[in-house]
Structure 1
Amino acid sequence: MKFVRYFFLILPFGYMGLIWYLSSHPQDHVIDTGLSYDSTIKEALHLVEFATLYVLWLLFFYGLGKLTPATNKLSAFLAIAYGFLDEIHQSFVPSRSATLIDLIKDTIGVLVCYIILKQIYKSQIEIKGSNNIEK
């Protein structure tokens, strides 16, 4: 079980390293699907990429035993802040650019995931509460 806990602690850092690596190369350097809508897929992946980072930060705090509403918000902040840092990083990479729309997509991905998980958590609390009333 300790292995899983330590694995959760390194996940966000490894994933941020992967994001940094992918951002350090031209868009089609690492992944080129050859499809006509390749750029559309990659643009949409911003939403998923940073929502995933948010979830990995949640797992980090869970692994520390410190998953709270405050660390949930901190996880969202860290994922969005890294999106901002990644955009700055890309401005220094030839053939890449930093764009506000990419940062907005990163942020939307995190916030949508945040809202979904918050609603799931609320519904679980309501279900548990209604079970206690029936007893």
Structure 2
Amino acid sequence: MKVIKWILRILPFLYMGAIWIMSSLPSNHFVELPDSALDKTIKESLHLIEFACFYVLLVLAFLTRRGPFTVRLNVICAVIAGLYGLTDEIHQSFYAYRSASWFDLVKDVTGIVVCFYFIQGALFKGRFVRLGKVLGYVRGL
């Protein structure tokens, strides 16, 4: 169980590194679909998922530590994820083959807010019972 706990603690940092590296590369570096409109739509929608995943990884990491996981700590996880989204947009602005926009940041934050709603409900409001059980399991590691 200690191994799982430490993996969960390290994952957010590895994920941050992956985001940083991918933001440094052209958007078609890994994959480019033949239909350019579909390719662009899928890649643009990934903003919603990318930073939501980062927020969830932060929550999981903090759940493995001693002490209570509070509403305040949950908000801090969301803010950290949002600030990293802002940092990512600034980082992308330095590359000619990448773009940075406020709209991308809004998509990043929207994904975070959706996950925040579910995690907040599961941990502090008695909703989303199955999710609460999974998060409780992680807490017990």
The CA RMSD over aligned residues, in Å, is 1.7
- Say whether the 8 Å CA contact 1:26–1:94 is kept in structure 2: no
Q: Does 1:70 align with 2:80?
A: no
The answer for unaligned runs of 5 or more in structure 2 is 130-141
Aligned mate of 1:79, from 78, 81, 92: 81
Could you tell me how far apart the structure 2 residues matched to 1:77 and 1:84 are?
10
Could you tell me how far apart the structure 2 residues matched to 1:82 and 1:104 are?
13
The answer for unaligned runs of 5 or more in structure 1 is 127-135
Q: Name the residue aligned to 2:126.
A: 123
Amino acid at match of 1:16: M
When the two structures are superposed, what TM-score results if normalisation uses the length of structure 1? 0.86
> Helix, strand or coil: the match of 1:30?
coil
When the two structures are superposed, what TM-score results if normalisation uses the length of structure 2? 0.83
Larger Rg: 1
- Say whether the 8 Å CA contact 1:8–1:59 is kept in structure 2: yes
- Say whether the 8 Å CA contact 1:57–1:75 is kept in structure 2: yes
Amino acid at match of 1:41: I
Give the Å deviation of 1:10. Answer: 0.5
Give the Å deviation of 1:124. Answer: 4.7
Q: Name the residue aligned to 1:29.
A: 29
